[in-house]
């Protein structure tokens, strides 16, 4: 079974299409970070102008935690497409090229073949979300620092302390992996 998973991983990572997700995540995250670095203060001042009339807000509002939150909200719809692009090709690509018939002649059952494809796709998904986490959270905290996060909802204001954020982000990344495994 490990040999099947290894072969499937080699198939995934030797195709240039597999790196589209990594490149697009990198491009989008770096673009958002650059835009916020250039004009983030004006954006925060615009959003917080009515709040500053009612509350005394001090500290580093524009920090890496807020940037990571913005990035995750931006990429929430694109991640399933990036995963489906690669994992969907595992079976349909082989069916289109005719190699799935050759694979079915091997001494492995169909369920073993499909399980190996699923586990290889799961490893790809974990790698993609890990890359997202490193760029979105790690690089954002390096560039912008860290601090409390203020999230404005339509009917409320939520403030989450900096000490409480890392486990929440790791939980969000874990939930992202679990939900993307369904794709």
Q: How far is CA 50 from CA 58, 62, 93, 159, in A?
A: 15, 17, 54, 16
> pTM of whole model > 0.85?
no
How much is the average pLDDT of 36-64? 74
How much is the average pLDDT of 26-31? 92
How much is the average pLDDT of 46-62? 69
Measured in degrees and rounded to the nearest 5, phi and psi for residue 159 equal: -115, 125
User: Cβ distance 48 to 66 under 8 Å?
Assistant: no
CA–CA distance, 117 with 112 (Å, rounded to integer): 9
CA–CA distance, 176 with 183 (Å, rounded to integer): 11
What pLDDT is stored for residue 21 in this prediction? 83
What pLDDT is stored for residue 59 in this prediction? 66
67-120 pLDDT, tens digit each: 888 898 888 888 888 888 877 777 777 666 666 666 666 676 777 777 888 888
Q: How many Cα neighbours within 13 Å face the side chain of 131?
A: 21
Q: How far is CA 142 from CA 7, 146, 174, 179, in A?
A: 37, 8, 22, 28
Q: Is 151 helix (H, G, I), strand (E, B) or coil?
A: strand
> CA 79, 85, 87, 91: dihedral to nearest 10 degrees?
160
> CA 58, 32, 181, 165: dihedral to nearest 10 degrees?
-10
Domain ranges in the chain are 2-181
How much is the average pLDDT of 141-154? 83
DSSP string, 59-95: S--S-HHHHHHHHHHHHTTHHHHHHHHHHHHHHHHHH
Q: Which residue has the tokens 């990344």?
A: 173
The closest of 60, 69, 65 to 41, measured between CA atoms, is: 60
């Amino acid at each position: 079974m490990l040999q099947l998973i290894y072969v499937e991983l080699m198939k995934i990572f030797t195709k240039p299409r597999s790196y589209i997700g990594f490149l697009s995540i990198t491009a989008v995250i770096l673009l958002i970070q650059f835009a916020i670095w250039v004009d983030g203060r004006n954006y925060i001042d615009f959003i917080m102008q009515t709040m500053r009339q009612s509350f005394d807000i001090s500290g580093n509002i524009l920090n890496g935690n807020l940037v990571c939150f913005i990035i995750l909200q931006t990429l929430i719809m694109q991640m399933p497409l990036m995963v489906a692009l690669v994992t969907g090709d595992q079976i349909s690509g082989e069916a289109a090229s005719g190699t799935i018939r050759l694979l079915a002649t091997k001494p492995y059952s169909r369920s073993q073949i499909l399980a190996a494809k699923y586990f290889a796709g799961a490893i790809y998904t974990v790698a993609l979300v890990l890359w997202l986490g490193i760029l979105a959270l790690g690089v954002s905290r390096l560039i912008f620092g860290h601090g409390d996060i203020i999230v404005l909802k339509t009917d409320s204001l939520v403030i989450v302390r900096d000490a409480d954020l890392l486990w929440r982000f790791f939980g969000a990344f874990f939930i992202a992996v679990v939900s993307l495994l369904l794709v």
